[in-house]
Chains A and B, each alone.
Chain A
Amino acid sequence: MSVFSVEIFLVVFGLALLCLEALMPTITRRALSGISIGGVALAFVLFLFSSKSGADLPMFVQPYLQLDTLAVFYKGFALVITLLVLWLMVESSAYLTKFTTGGHYNELFCLPIFVCVGMMWMASAKDLVTVFVSLELVTVSFYVLVAFARKSNLALEAGVKYLILGALSTGVLVYGIAWVYGATGAMSFDGISAALANPTTSKQAALLGAAFLLSGLAFKVAAAPFQMWVPDVYQGAPIPITVFLSVGSKAAGFIVLTRTVTAFMAQGSVIAMEVQTLLILGGALTILLGSLPAIFQTSVKRLMAYSSISHAGYLLLALGAGSARFDLNAGGVVAFYLATYLPMTVLGFLVLALLRANGGGEDLRDFRGLAKRSPLMALVMTIALASLAGLPLTAGFMGKLFVFIGLVDQASWGALICAVIGAAAGFYYYFRAILAMYTSDAQTSGSMVWSTGTKAGAIVLAIVIVVIGVYPKPLQKLLTPKAAAVATH
């Protein structure tokens, strides 16, 4: 059985879920959420078994899809984040009930599954047509997800803003694809890198296409100068969807960016230098535009949005520096960083959702005295925030370390200074939130209510953060390209 069948299973499962909801009005939300989580978990198990069998894709998909180390990693990543988002949707049911018409949101459960399928196809896409179609499957599903809680004016506004800017980025992306095709005469990544290595290829046309293509993708991953939508949309959207946007959408954008940039910067490419400069400049600017405004934020949800922007900056720098240490290539470093980014972001937003469910808000002052009300919740939030800041012995530190080493190797001192400024600012604003939790003058008192299952999930995420931070070797091995692994042993 090939990995390809997992995606077909998920498509059929998502459609079946939609029909089930439409044809059986009596079915409870509890049952539906259980079925959706069970289905994605089953897909994950199928994926674990089938991904071992290697590159045995059916003949008819071979021109369009590939199955290398990165593709397998991002497919697993998509399944894990979808599972976590479905879980968070159950956790924030009070919010969703309040802000949907008649408290009815049963059809919400099939959309994350379609997003997951789109991300999985994107992970193994071999040409720009496949990339475009799967990217749009993800984006159009996200339009609905963001605007879903439409009784909330903020969520509706976030939905409209995401719709307009998302559609704009799609237009820019297709125009970029058109010019890249015009310059190189190829749609597949292999064909593009081969044509770019040919010195007769028009440099101007290729550069125009590359600039538009990278701008379109920069929208999706929340990179400067196309990051203005992020704080508004993240603040307005329901928390599970914010997590999905900030982790899933970013990962989807970065696998495409990795593939495109690898093609653009292939050996002897006529535009390699320019693309690298664009990436380094964009990354440094993103870090500054993400971390400096965050200093003045009082809303923790907006703070997390700015943090998401600055993390996109580090990821861009990793791609641009193109490090080749620790058995990881540039794509491997990006994937590693995203893997560390997943648990800390999900954990941070989980605590936000729990605060909300317990009658609190999303402001820094709602964090005051959290340690008194629930020491465990304050502890896991401290771990998540410390990891986001990049404190040693947490996962976030290892990701940042790889990026910094790559920059030193490349001798990009300007970008390194921006990255250090961003990290220092990060320490300030994350630790301000941690300090708030351990002050004693609580705005509201009373202990926090959270179920045992939620506690267990939060503890597992915190343990994952610490384990990756202390012992990152297994994750590194997972991302080592097969050929390199053979060469080193």
Chain B
Amino acid sequence: MITLNHYLIVSGMLFALGLAGVIARRNILIIYMCLEMMLSAANLTLVAFSRFRVVDGLPDYAAQSLVFFTITVAAAEVAVGLAIIVALYRAKQSVETESVTKLQG
């Protein structure tokens, strides 16, 4: 029997993995993929909480509606983000974090 806790542990691990990737990786595209993973972890948490919270015999849909918004927003974010990363590649011929270290002081 899969309970709410199983879902929460998996989504927590997914979130932690994404965060670790953002901190540890040097390639901006991989960092971006890790960010998407964090959003998916949040979505999984929302769906799990929503499914296990039964109101009048039906799951509570308030949280599931947020999941749809999150997916849409993530798509918009990817569209804008990849455009900026492509612009960076054109300017520097690299998408490593070492290529964005000019601003300091």
Contacts and interface: CB of A to CB of B under 8 A. Distances in A.
B70 to A, nearest CB: 6
Contacts of A297: 105
Contact of A167 (B8, B41, B81): B81
Give the one of B32, B60, B80 with max A CB within 10 A.
Answer: B80
Contacts of A272: none
Interface string A139-171: 010011001001001101111110110011011
Contacts, number: 124
B66 A157 contact: no
Interface stretch (A174-182, A247-255, A260-268, A462-470): A174-182
A194 interface: no
Given A147-B84, A156-B88, A175-B15, A129 B65 contact: yes
A136 B73 contact: yes
A235 interface: yes
A185 interface: yes
A454 to B, nearest CB: 28
A154 B81 contact: no
A69 interface: no
B6 interface: no
Interface in B48-82: 49-50, 53, 60, 62-63, 65-66, 69-70, 73, 76-77, 80-81
B28 interface: yes
A14 to B, nearest CB: 15
Contacts of B31: 164
Given A163-B84, A181-B49, A136 B102 contact: no
A168 B38 contact: yes
Contacts of B32: 164, 167
A160 B66 contact: no
A299 interface: yes
B17 interface: no
Contacts of B18: 171
9 contacts: A144-B80, A157-B102, A163-B85, A174-B42, A175-B42, A179-B45, A181-B66, A235-B105, A236-B103
Interface of B: 8, 15, 18, 22, 28, 31-32, 35, 38-39, 41-43, 45-46, 49-50, 53, 60, 62-63, 65-66, 69-70, 73, 76-77, 80-81, 84-85, 87-88, 91-92, 100, 102-105
Given A163-B80, A232-B104, 4 more contacts: A129-B66, A170-B73, A171-B41, A185-B53
